[in-house]
Amino acid sequence: MGKTGVPQVVTLAIFIISYILIFSGKVERTSAALIGLFMMLSAGYIFGFMNFEDVLNHVDWEVIILLFGMMTYVGLMAKTGFFKYLGMKAIKLSKGQPWLIFLYLSLITTFISMVIDNVTTILLIIPLTMELADMLGINPVPVILGETILSNVGGVGTMIGDPPNIMIGLASSHTFNDFLINLLPPVLLSLLLSIILSKVVYRKWLKQKSKNAEKLMDTQPRRYIRDKKKMRYFLCILFGMVAFFALENYTGIHPSFVALAGGTLALLISLEDPREAFKSVEWSTLVFFVALFSLVGGLHEVGLLSSLAQWLSSISGNVFVLALIILWISGLSSSFVDNIPITAALIPVVSIMVREYHSEFLWWALAMGVGMGGNITPIGSSAGVIALSLSKRYGHEIGIKDWIKFGTLVGFASMTICSLILLVMY
């Protein structure tokens, strides 16, 4: 295909306009991405650099299928009451003590976010937190912040914990175990540091005394379980999926198929009408991914991504320095805009650099950056945006100062830890 300066300028302009629309909030992000896709494909036909078949080739269908399977499974599992049961179990163990409530709920959210999308986890856990706070007469804002920020940290630890990691894992062909080996250490260190920082930041809040603690102790977590039999079956499916993710090197079974099989089995066991079961699937998010892949594909077709990779490589020939650049560029970018579009834009650039330097090291820098950087501001991650929205709806609005006091602090601290981890890995 003939590539001149005009297609590159037009393609870059369309990409920038599309991202401005996505991040402005004035147009729903999926609609904005589809407008961008329409403009990009139209320009592709006019200038001859991309057609409809090329668009389909640029979409990572493995990511779409994996997300679809996990969304189906999580939606059906949520209906059994499992997540509320788990939360209430932890709350009861806390005996109404604010520090233990913060610790247990934050840790549960962290570890659930390692195997289930953190946005879904937040949507399930925050209403329960609000219910508990009202019962005990405590301010729920510190707990909600702990849950949200640590869910972002936990999501970095595995290949399926966060959409950016799914995208990176399938683009780089790294396995579930590769993510555990390379990303779990910085996640655990960031988690430990976050808990220490929370003790300092919320030292006054921790002195609050709960009311109605006796009522809490009388609450039976089991009453939150709607279908015990199905819950057990779904837990077996989850353990099976995690096992197959971990054994990919030996079985050769692709993670996307495992997720699709898990969602399908859950659907069969639930005996639900698919139309009802699929209501939990975030179709707009899946369409958003398709449009993003296509937009980035346009940049690839006209050679702009290769040019960007060459420019970054020209800054330094040292792989460690390049890894730090990727870490902080992706992290700071993800602090101001949703990390999914940032990941979609940077994956092809990092892929080119990995081939040039023969170093898989750069993939881990990207994963750490887009995951940890999202905590720096409340709009840096989907989980953060949803937490702000829910806190306002329930009458305990999280302010910018609240976020900066803990979220920004944890975000920069985690990024610093990741920098040190990259040095050790190098």
Q: What residues does each domain of the chain span?
A: 5-425
Model pTM? 0.80
Output phi, psi for 139, to 5 deg. Answer: -75, 120
Q: What share of the chain is helix, strand, coil (3-state, %, to 5)?
A: 80, 0, 20
Question: Which amino acid, 15?
Answer: F
- Give the pair of three-digit tokens for residue 96: 């109404």
Count of Cβ atoms closer than 10 Å to residue 393 Cβ: 12
Report how far residue 290's alpha carbon sits from residue 66's, in angstroms, rounded to the nearest whole number: 13
| DSSP annotation of 316 | -
Encode pLDDT of 133-145 as tens digits: 877 788 889 999 9
Output phi, psi for 317, to 5 deg. Answer: -95, 0
Please report which helix (H) or strand (E) contains residue 283, including its range.
helix 283-301
- Digit-by-digit pLDDT tens for the chain (426 residues) are 444 588 889 988 998 888 788 777 678 878 888 999 999 999 999 988 888 888 888 888 887 888 888 888 888 888 888 877 887 787 778 777 888 889 988 998 898 888 877 777 887 788 888 877 877 788 889 999 999 999 999 989 988 888 888 889 888 989 999 999 999 999 999 999 999 999 999 988 888 777 766 666 667 777 778 888 999 999 999 899 889 988 888 888 888 899 899 999 999 999 888 888 888 787 887 888 888 888 888 888 888 877 777 787 777 778 899 999 999 998 988 887 677 778 888 888 899 888 888 888 899 999 999 999 989 988 777 788 778 877 887 788 888 888 989 999 999 999 999 999 999 987
Encode pLDDT of 320-345 as tens digits: 999 999 999 989 888 876 777 788 88
Mapping DSSP to helix (H, G, I), strand (E, B) and coil, where does residue 189 land?
helix
Q: Would you list the DSSP string of 77-112?
A: HHTTTHHHHHHHHHHHHHTT-HHHHHHHHHHHHHHH
**Largest Cα–Cα distance of the chain, in whole Å?**
74
Report how far residue 322's alpha carbon sits from residue 318's, in angstroms, rounded to the nearest whole number: 6
Report how far residue 368's alpha carbon sits from residue 28's, in angstroms, rounded to the nearest whole number: 27
Q: Would you list the DSSP string of 22-71?
A: HHHSSS-HHHHHHHHHHHHHHHHHHHTS--HHHHHHHS-HHHHHHHHHHH
